[in-house]
Structure 1
Amino acid sequence: MISELNQRSREIFRTIVDAYVETGEPIGSRTISRRLGITLSPATIRNVMADLEEQGLLYAPHTSAGRLPTEAGLRLFVHGLLELGALGEGERESIEIKCRAAGRSLPELLTEATTMLSGLSSCAGLVVAPKSDRPLRHIEFVNLGPGRALVVLVTEDGLVENRVVEVPLGMPASTLQSASNYLNAKLVGRTLDETRIEILSEIEAQRTQLDELSSRVVEAGLATWAGAGSTGHLIVRGQAKLLDDVTALTDLERIRALFEALETKESMVRLLDATGRADGVQIYIGAENSLFNYSGCSLIIAPYQNSREQIVGAIGVIGPTRINYARIIPMVDYTAKVISRLLG
């Protein structure tokens, strides 16, 4: 459809979208004429606006004489007319520092990166952390006191995750060490799902070198991890920023529905699926993504990779449809690349 717009229509359309991103308010022909800085009468501009409205790119809210871009219009603009800005040196440096200072564990890095993106973009930041079915580097049981132990898993990607398990009272420290040694011999370089059935079968058939207590600890650890993290972990920061533009009860209900959707595992599956099918930054405006339905929000998200160049997660922002796409798209893209580099 871009090719069907002449230069005059493109300039008028661009001016309307720029004004919408800046103010969120309808813009009329006289204001457009002043912004364009070229000799076009308001009547001529109104005719072009009428043509753009007929093509489904603009609409008139209520009885206003001004126009706003439709979601279809925004998508056309973002994918066909948008000129991306360049990240400033300060922004790039801030992203690098925040990611590097996030700590040794991947969850800390991702949480910090998400918070940082939320602050820089004035949107809600979100990240889908890697699924836990990655080959393991190390597993260990740590005593937490009577009846409790901590299971620590470290994947080859550097992801560190913990679970608390119940263990028999009065159990000696050597039992936890035996359980750790046994699982490390079985699991390192393989995924938990790959070896879980094998380990449980050995225990049931009493073909292991473990004593009864150690077997119970291993079973408790495997049970705790069963199905954990199978769809990844969704981290969202800065949700309150989505409420900044809310002016009506219907808008509030839409945002509430979005918050509820983000808490479901299906959301993580959809987000990973959306980023896994294509390279680079993905942009979803309004109802284009079924996750949002009619929430009036846009999602800008990019995948990040592990050392084997496999997509293991995604990071991005959610904001109103009038977010500053030109600034935020390169910001999300750069952050995803920094995380991929750190994981590599």
Structure 2
Amino acid sequence: MQIGRLNDRSRAIFRTIVESYLDTGDPVGSRTISRQPGIDLSAASIRNVMADLEETGLIYSPHTSAGRVPTELGLRLFVDGLLEIGNLTDEERANIDVQCAGQGRRREDVLADASNLLSGLSHCASLVMAPKTESPVRHVEFVPLPPDRALVVVVSDDGAVENRVITLPKGLPPIALVQAGNYLSNRFKGRTFEEARQVIERELAQQQAELDALTSKVVEEGLATWTGDGNPSLIVRGRGNLLENVRALEDLERIRKLFDELETKQELTRLLESARDAEGVKIFIGSENNLFSLSGSSLVVSPYMKGDNKIVGVIGVIGPTRINYARIIPMVDYTAKVIGRLL
């Protein structure tokens, strides 16, 4: 639905209902609306407009009272067509700059601090999705495991050590593991995994690797094991903030469901991946995504990028659908830009 389909009177009443709900969380009745500046209508006329708005699916009555609250469709219409986004204060910008700043810091520390900062400023939970480390690989080694397996050990320049278990082809001589390790260490030297993978796959395809068939299979198996393990890391902070404004048992149940959803990291990561290609801030409201359909939560996220304008991750805030969109949207947007500059 387009906001232009509402006449001025309906738009004013709809805006009042949504803004009041976002501010207090309470249903809004015709008497409350009639007292607002700029609403020169009787309570009866307001009730007629509210009935029309309810018929279009923009508001509903959560109880038997006369008060109304916006539906998820109504919130979407408001955010897209009526929301007046505020500006961060100089103090808030400076605070974000200081908290995230620091030359030579580990990327994980910068992202963790940014997530902590966002959860504190927004009074919601915050989350950051970061790609796996792109530190160049220093050394690769294959350690035989009986009967037909091997442990692949990879050491990065930043000191990180990872390992995987692979299955070996039948009849593989022990020297083949040494050859495969030496070959990979030589190709990985000074390169990230992705850079080295492209070189190795090209050499194997063109038979330029100077490896026999069995050793080539070991190399391919090692690459395949790591290629399928590129899951990004996920940082979630500030879950406790979500309990601050619990007003009733149904609110507590909604928060409990949201906690469960935040633990489903694979689904959450998939949702954030869908926001990587967004131009600026992207907003998910309630059941617009399957993950938060039970808890009725909103997610405000923005991708961040490196100096080459390559998007590398996503940062955002999650909370109830009545979060302060006008304040949180510029907050998430600015923090994503600060992280991008630091990276």
Question: Normalised by the size of structure 1, how large is the TM-score?
Answer: 0.77
How far does residue 202 in structure 1 lie from its aligned partner after superposition? Answer: 7.7
Structure-2 change in CA distance of 1:240 and 1:102 (3 Å): farther
Residue 97 of structure 1, CA deviation: 1.1
Match of 1:15, SS state, is: helix
Is the Cα contact below 8 Å between 1:131 and 1:312 reproduced in 2? no
**Residue in structure 1 matched with residue 322 of structure 2 by the alignment:** 322
Distance 1:259 1:225, change over 3 A: farther
Alignment of 1:131-280 (within 5 A): 131-132=132-133, 136=134, 138-140=136-138, 153=156, 162-163=160-161, 182=186, 184-185=188-189, 187=191, 190-191=194-195, 193-194=197-198, 227-228=228-229, 230-262=230-262, 263-276=264-277, 278-280=278-280
CA deviations on 1:239-267 (whole Å, 9 max, x unpaired) are 12223334455544443443333333232
Corresponding residue of 1:309: 309
Contact 1:261 1:291 (8 Å CA) reproduced? yes
Structure-1 separation of matches of 2:260 and 2:103: 28
The letter of the residue matching 1:12 is I
Could you say which residue in structure 1 is the equivalent of 2:22? 21
- Deviation digits for residues 137-185 of structure 1, max 9, x if unmatched? 53347xxxxxxxx96636xxxxx6833669xxxxxxxxxxx99974653
Which residue type is aligned with residue 13 of structure 2? I
Task: Measure, in 1, the Cα distance between the counterparts of 2:256 and 2:155.
Answer: 35
C-alpha deviation, 1:32, in angstroms: 1.1
2:143 corresponds to which residue? none
Q: Is the partner of 1:66 in helix, strand or coil?
A: coil
Task: Decide whether aligned partners of structure 1 residues 227 and 122 sit closer, same or farther in structure 2, where only a CA change above 3 A counts.
Answer: same
- Helix, strand or coil: the match of 1:315? strand
1:321 to partner: Cα distance: 0.6
Aligned position for 1:62 = 63
User: Residue in 2 aligned with 1:336?
Assistant: 336
Secondary structure of 2:276 counterpart:
helix
Please state how far the C-alpha of 1:31 moved relative to its aligned partner. 1.2
Aligned CA-pair RMSD? 3.6
Cα 1:248/1:193, change in 2 over 3 Å: farther
TM-aligned CA distance change 1:61 to 1:342, over 3 Å: same
Structure 1 residues 56, 121: CA separation in 2 closer, same or farther (over 3 Å shift)? same
Distance 2:249 2:104 in 1: 41
| Structure 1 residues not aligned, in runs of 5+ | 142-149, 155-159, 167-177, 209-217
Please report how far the alpha carbon of residue 190 of structure 1 lies from its aligned counterpart in structure 2 after TM superposition: 4.6
CA contact (8 A) 1:163 1:224 kept: no
- In the alignment, is the contact (CA less than 8 A) between 2:21 and 2:27 conserved in 1? yes
**Cα deviation, residue 310, structure 1:** 1.7
Aligned residues: 309
5+ residue gaps, structure 2: 140-152, 165-181
List aligned pairs for 1:16-165, cutoff 5 A: 16-101=17-102, 104-132=105-133, 136=134, 138-140=136-138, 153=156, 162-163=160-161
The whole-number CA distance in structure 2 between the counterparts of 1:46 and 1:57 is: 14
Distance 1:13 1:185, change over 3 A: same
Moved more, 298-307 or 260-269: 260-269
Q: State the TM-score, normalized to the length of structure 2.
A: 0.77
